[in-house]
Copies of this chain bind each other. A is one copy, B any other.
Amino acid sequence: MIEPYDDAYFMKKALQEAEAAYAKDEIPIGAVIVSNNQIIARAHNLTETLNDVTAHAEMQAITAAANFLGGKYLKKCTLYVTIEPCQMCAGALFWSQISTIVYGARDEQRGCISLNTKLHPKTVLKGGVLKEEASNLLKQFFIEKRNLN
């Protein structure tokens, strides 16, 4: 059977969100949440626009997905996020009991893996999907920022 809805397919959607963040001069990180092969939430980093450190892509996606589902648990959902979640987002994902987290590139410094953030025992964490694209977008953003200053 042909399966068009693979991890790369949904990560591309998350990358589109990251590009939308870039266009707003936000650190380019994007996320989507998928349930039954349907995207139920899309979000990108808005910390500058909203003046709010909690406005990471994942946080907004969690809120939007729960709103769509009419319940606060995301037990049968998968989050696709272009960069490995931070402690805050991984902590929120813990509470959501999400089924799967798929990230693109690692965040060695501030990501949940290096910082040992506890995930829900039922949550599976996978990484490396379209990591070059995710990481290049981030690098390009910071190079551009440096050149402007």
Contacts and interface: CB of A to CB of B under 8 A. Distances in A.
A86 interface: yes
A108 to B, nearest CB: 14
A144 B47 CA distance: 39
A136 interface: no
B53 A62 contact: yes
A16 interface: no
Interface residues of A, number: 29
A98 to B, nearest CB: 10
Contact of A90 (B52, B87, B96): B87
Interface in A68-110: 70-73, 86-92, 94-96
B52 A118 contact: no
Contacts of A90: 87-88, 91
Contacts of A94: 87-88
A89 B94 CA distance: 12
A94 B89 CA distance: 12
Nearest to A58: B54
B87 A91 contact: yes
Contacts of A63: 52, 54
A62 B54 contact: yes
A59 interface: yes
Contacts of A91: 86-91, 117
Contact of A72 (B52, B71, B72, B92): B52
